[in-house]
Structure 1
Amino acid sequence: MYLRPGHDLINRSGSLHNFMNWENSILTDSGGFQVFSLARLNKISDDGVDFQSHLDGSSHFFNPELSMEIQRYLGSDIIMAFDECPSGDARSRMFNVL
């Protein structure tokens, strides 16, 4: 929603509910899965993720705060936290760190 059609366009319609003509609850994702699935187009740091759009090559930066802000801006009913999706072959020690 951030890249296409754009959260500003959706907000101008009032909310994602209005944009979609949907009266029920809406759950929005944080973008964490897209960071994982488009790994070749991004660079992850402790501050967030720099990524390149798969649509036009433009550069963007996401952090947890921006992810939450965009989801609130969309008028989402259920907001997902900005997460990191480890690959299927991630080492078990990664999961043991507290």
Structure 2
Amino acid sequence: MATINVTDNSWQSDVLEADKPVLVDFWAEWCGPCKMIAPALEEISDELADKITIAKMDIMENTGVPGEIGVQSIPLMVLYKDGKPVAQKLGAAPKGQLKQWIESEL
């Protein structure tokens, strides 16, 4: 399953009420490191589809949620379980490191 796009309007249903953990990648079109990790997140989304949903939120198009939770730097990945943030990772990393971090937090 490919990554999904989350908006301020879909946040409640897509992330907070999800039936499995959701990793939200906060990103922007102008962010080079965000673009670097995007392909890795797509691959990880396929590889771990039965365990986690990987979602992307463009902070320029959706300012409500990032503002509420205090996103100050990107790329920022926040893992939500049962509607609550349980782990976060700031900055780009190679696919292997991202996947290992995600799996260790599940």
TM norm structure 2: 0.28
Higher helix share: 1
> Larger strand proportion, structure 1 or 2?
2
Tell which has more relative contact order, 1 or 2 (C-alpha 8 A, sep 6+).
Answer: 2
Structure whose CA Rg is larger: 1
